[in-house]
Amino acid sequence: MKIFRHYQDIPEACKGAVVALGNFDGVHRGHQALIGHARALAEQRNAPLGVIAFEPHPQEYFRPSAESFRLTPFRVKARLIAELGVDVMFALAFDAEMAKKGPQDFVMDVLVDGLAAGCVVVGGDFRFGKGRAGDVAVLAYMGEMEGFGVEVFAPVLADREKISSTHIREALKAGKPEEAARLLGHVWAVEGRVEHGDKRGRTIGFPTANMRLTDCLHPAFGIYAVRATVLENDKPVSTHEGVASFGIRPMFKTGEPLLETWLFDFSGDLYGRHLSVALVAYLRPEMTFDGIEALKAQMKKDEAAARAALAAAPLSPAHVGERSG
């Protein structure tokens, strides 16, 4: 998949594409279906299949100091979109210039003059342009005037409710990774570089790989059954089962939330390497213990619970969900 961070001077081979347009945070089942519809149209037209998204996410531009909320930062989003067979991704900078474009300017500058889009596929609630003034009716009208098609894709439902990134965030915040996975179509994961920690886990027989989640959603604090994949150059090298703790470690009063992952039956050095940790099941909230021996006893119980949860959870194709660090 080719990736462009601009809409000017696009090669002729990438123009005339059928483009799916949206934020696509999470690349969930609804996004996958919308892009799949665009792919079918592209095949009918013998045209390239494209995706238009914005970086940073518009919410990050307008609320830079807000808590991180993203399910899929750019590199992970691009990887997931590429897996859907997309030919070209236009990851357009959402900056002051983009923010001030009215709906007509966006259509003319980006879709017509820049990309020469053949057809644009959006969800029914799509809004665009300064102040979110444009909607699907405006887009369809301008498409008719300027000679490009517009397809409005019906939402994908789960339990008669629209699948949305907001619902997935709420599930993860509530300690329901299984529900998030059902809506996503894949297990949600966090990705980052393994850091040196205080090595306390190693001294009690449970060495952990430590990661800070600095630019993504923070799930519920607690203990999780996980599958972790070691990455090299964004490619999976090996996958291991384990148990992970995310939180502030109330017993040791860690100030900043930390993800600590203990991989079962693993030996080797992970410091400085990239790890993708998929949260398969939530086991329990954080706890405070009377001492180290009580903590070790609980960790053995957590290991048994994690192994049982992982044995009951089917393996699925590897998907990387988040990047930090």
- Sequence-separated (6 or more) residues with CB below 8 Å from residue 124: 136, 152, 153, 154, 155
Please state the pTM of the whole predicted model: 0.89
pLDDT tens digits, residue range 58-116? Answer: 999 999 888 899 999 898 899 999 999 999 999 999 999 999 999 999 999 999 999 99
- Sequence-separated (6 or more) residues with CB below 8 Å from residue 96: none
Q: Which of 170, 260, 286, 303 is catalytic?
A: 260
pLDDT of residue 15: 97
255 vs 162, residue with greater confidence: 162
d(CA 171, CA 290): 31
d(CA 142, CA 107): 8
178 vs 269, residue with greater confidence: 178
Task: Give the least confident one: 3-12, 107-116, 125-134, 261-270.
Answer: 261-270
Q: Strands 161-162 and 119-123: what pairing?
A: unpaired
**Full set of structural domains in the chain with CATH:** 2-158 (3.40.50.620), 182-312 (2.40.30.30)
Amino acid (1-letter code) at residue 41:
L
Residue 322 has pLDDT above 80, yes or no: no
**Average pLDDT of every residue of the chain:** 91
pLDDT of residue 321: 38
Mean pLDDT, residues 239-243 taken together: 95
Catalytic-residue membership of 293: no
Residue 319 has pLDDT above 70, yes or no: no
Residue 203 has pLDDT above 60, yes or no: no
Q: Strands 222-232 and 274-284: what pairing?
A: antiparallel
Residue 190 structure tokens: 């966090």
